[in-house]
Structure 1
Amino acid sequence: MRAGDVMNQVLPDTVLDLAASVAVAAAVEAGHAIRSGLLAATVSAKDESGDVVTDLDLRAEEIILRHVRRAFPAHRVLAEESGVLDNADDAWCWVIDPLDGTNNIAIGLPVCTVGIALCHHGTPVLGVVHEPIADRTWTAVRGRGAHGPKGPVWHPAHRPAAAAPVLAWLQGYPVTRADPTARALRLTLESASRRLIQLWSPLLCWVMLSNGDIDGFVGYRAGMVDLPAGALLAREAGMHLTDFHGAPLDERLELPSGEVDFIAGSAEMMSDLTLLVKSAASVTVTGLPG
């Protein structure tokens, strides 16, 4: 009998162990396909918004879906390119971002990740992030911590308090260049940081935050496909996550998925980050084209 046929008859820990094994294998295989196809990637318009998709997105998603469907045929799936694939057991939902960084690939910048999460009744319980170019993988299981290429990831070292922080910024794809809130937030964060990075690959920002490579991460109207894996990785690495008002972030997945504002960082950084975000409400950026 296959694993998917006995999902409701085994202990949750056993489910998570199997799911983690499947997700890592799927992410690594998808990553290898992305890395091997980078130089010959074909790019096409995804929709009228100007978003793009590559053949690598589709190939990677096909690989991941094959792994997930073989092991857990009854589970629901939310995939970046395929959308919601309903099935009998909607208590479990896989969230798949087969290539986080498509716009980077489209301009010849090899910065991307593969993200896979498993949610139980909407709550992320497993997150896997794979970096194809460096062939590195990070995993997190709720309540069991986060692990990276060098082992457990927990409370990484932080920069001295006197040093200006390095922050990451994310705005959702539907946010326009003229959005006044986004403009104010970017200007405020950049003015208060040593560097404000925008990688076009949110999952890589979550990895950097979990590793302690950056000090904070702020997202405005961020999409939900890459949030479950990234947020769980950060939480299990000891980071704190809130909304823009300072309340604990609810990263539970609800379909159809929407958008979320978040602030993420170490305990030492959260007060300063929250004050920065709140102060942006009084900032008006003028003189720029719409």
Structure 2
Amino acid sequence: MPGDLDRERRVAMAAAEEAGALLAASFHSAHTVHAKGGRDVVLDLDLAAEKIIVSRLREAFPDDHILSEEAGDQGPQGGRTWLVDPLDGTNNVAIGLPAYAVGIGLMSGGAPVLGVVHEPVTGATFHAVAGRGAYGPAGRLSGPASVLPEAGPVVAWTQGYGVGRAPTAARIRAELERESWRVLQLWAPLLGWVLLARGTIDAFVGYCAEGVDLPAGALLAAEAGAELRTLDGEVFTPEHAGPPEGRSFVAARGENLAWARLRCSG
């Protein structure tokens, strides 16, 4: 892809931070707009943050396609696609839990080339460009450890909203609970990707994950040195479209990757 994507990165980071400031300021006054199904909801903050991000991207890159969590498809089809999750962790915010993030990704040629994750609670922004490493407020991210901790790894888990109590997901999750030191079920996958990219957790496992936030987070972790695999052990390519089964993954490094792969197989 031509260019270094520096302008795209700067626009995406500024948009994510502007949306994040709104989310942080309005956290305690959030209210539900409507239910998506089951216990999943849309908040007024989803829509307000989305409006900021989409308008900034549309102004800067009018020829690009945008796929946003709530607004859906906008702009020309083909070419580059921006993926926008204006509030990853909506259900956390709905119950007053301050664990949420803003995610923006850019796809080109079917692969993520830019990922931005902003944490409104801490004010930290993380970003990655394909082939150029991953960075946070303190500089380049070193990624997860490659050596299996003696007490067992700390693992993040995510699953798609439609998974429910599917037997395969339940089996994998139970195996991880038995064998790891701790399993984090954050209901804000972008936070899991940031933790992995920072090296503060050892692995991330997903089953039929949601698609809009996946490429940005996965690129961030991969550029920090994490290896991404399917549950069958093949190289995992993070995509936002297609059947949800294609969005099941294991992300780790070295011994931790082998450990996680073993718990997810069979």
- Answer whether TM exceeds 0.5 for this pair: yes
Asked if 1:58 is matched to 2:47, the reply is yes
Larger Rg: 1
Match of residue 189 from structure 2: 202
CA distance in 1, matches of 2:264, 2:244: 21
Match of residue 103 from structure 1: 91
CA displacement at 1:51 relative to structure 2:
1.6
Match of residue 28 from structure 2: 39
CA distance in 2, matches of 1:125, 1:160: 30
CA displacement at 1:156 relative to structure 2:
5.0
Match of residue 3 from structure 1: none
- Structure 2: gaps of 5 or more residues: none
Which of 147, 153, 158 is equivalent to 1:170? 158
Which of 109, 122, 127 is equivalent to 1:139? 127
> Structure 2 matches for 1:1-290, cutoff 5 A?
12-14=2-4, 16-87=5-76, 90-157=78-145, 161-176=149-164, 178-254=165-241, 258-259=244-245, 260-278=247-265, 281=266
Paired residues of 1:128 and 1:138 also in contact (CA < 8 A): yes
Paired residues of 1:164 and 1:194 also in contact (CA < 8 A): yes
What residue identity is the alignment partner of 1:93? T
TM-score when scaled to structure 2? 0.95
1:91-125 superposed Cα distances (whole Å, 9 cap, x missing partner): 10000000000000011101100000001122100
CA displacement at 1:12 relative to structure 2:
2.2
CA distance in 2, matches of 1:169, 1:76: 30
CA distance in 2, matches of 1:157, 1:186: 21
CA displacement at 1:44 relative to structure 2:
3.3
CA displacement at 1:53 relative to structure 2:
0.8
Identity percentage of aligned residues:
47
Paired residues of 1:224 and 1:257 also in contact (CA < 8 A): no
Distance change (3 Å), C-alpha of 1:156 and 1:263 = closer
CA distance in 1, matches of 2:48, 2:84: 13
Paired residues of 1:154 and 1:236 also in contact (CA < 8 A): no
What residue identity is the alignment partner of 1:124? P
CA displacement at 1:253 relative to structure 2:
4.0
CA displacement at 1:220 relative to structure 2:
0.5
CA distance in 1, matches of 2:260, 2:147: 15
User: What's the Cα RMSD here?
Assistant: 1.6
Paired residues of 2:144 and 2:196 also in contact (CA < 8 A): no
Tell me which moved more, 35-44 or 259-268: 259-268
CA distance in 2, matches of 1:48, 1:141: 35
Give the number of aligned pairs: 265
Any idea what SS the aligned residue of 1:53 has?
strand
Distance change (3 Å), C-alpha of 1:197 and 1:172 = same
TM-score when scaled to structure 1? 0.87
1:11-64 superposed Cα distances (whole Å, 9 cap, x missing partner): 8225x1110010000000000000000011011333333320111110100000
Match of residue 5 from structure 1: none
Tell me which moved more, 181-190 or 109-118: 181-190
- Structure 1: gaps of 5 or more residues: 1-10, 282-290
